[in-house]
Amino acid sequence: MTAPSTFGLSSEARNLHWLLNNLVEEVPGILSVAVVSSDGLLLLSSDHARNLEAREAKTEPRTGPRGSAADLATVVSGIGSLTVGASKLMDFGPVKHTMVAMDEGSLFVMSISDGSLLGVHGSAECDMSVVAYHMALFVGRAGHVLTPELRSELRKSLETESAGSAR
């Protein structure tokens, strides 16, 4: 059955939602995931689906950094921009992935296609190699379908959902 947030979306958009939710469900320790466009806009997030589930179950939403997918998208975009600048300065070619290990968790950023990024916020207990492997699978499956038209559709669906939840 299709999640309520995917009604009205193209099959490619529904597939990306499924891939993202599968990533979160299959990999222990992942707290939140965000797909960010090259201009830093949030396209897809695990937080929204989790918050819908929590609202329906009348429980507290599980959250990522500061409780907001937008915060994760901002961090992912910033790290992506910083590493692209470093790559150009060092003339080592395009950035494939970045990992930030902290005492209480990890942040992973991986290039998808033409500047789009996949960001994963993981707990301290997550296995970094397992997370990186599953992120690479996501990127391999999502990269070829993340066209400008699909990015526009995903962005519009997030704006529509945000407007609906603000009411």
**Which is more confidently placed, 161 or 152?**
152
CA 159/CA 44 separation, integer angstroms: 11
Structural domains of the chain, with CATH: 10-166 (3.30.450.30)
Q: pLDDT tens digits, residue range 5-19?
A: 567 889 989 999 999
> pLDDT tier at 46 (50, 70, 90 boundaries)?
confident
Mean of pLDDT over the chain? 82
**b/e burial code for range 101-125 (CB count within 10 A of at least 16 → b):** eeeebbbbbbbbeebbbbbbbbeee
**Which is more confidently placed, 67 or 43?**
43
Q: pLDDT tens digits, residue range 58-116?
A: 555 444 444 467 789 999 999 999 999 999 999 989 999 999 999 999 999 999 987 89
CA 61/CA 59 separation, integer angstroms: 6
Contact in structure between 21 and 32 (CB atoms under 8 Å):
no
Q: What is the DSSP letter of 59?
A: S
What pLDDT does residue 163 have?
A: 62
What pLDDT does residue 159 have?
A: 78
Pairing of strands 117-123, 30-36: antiparallel
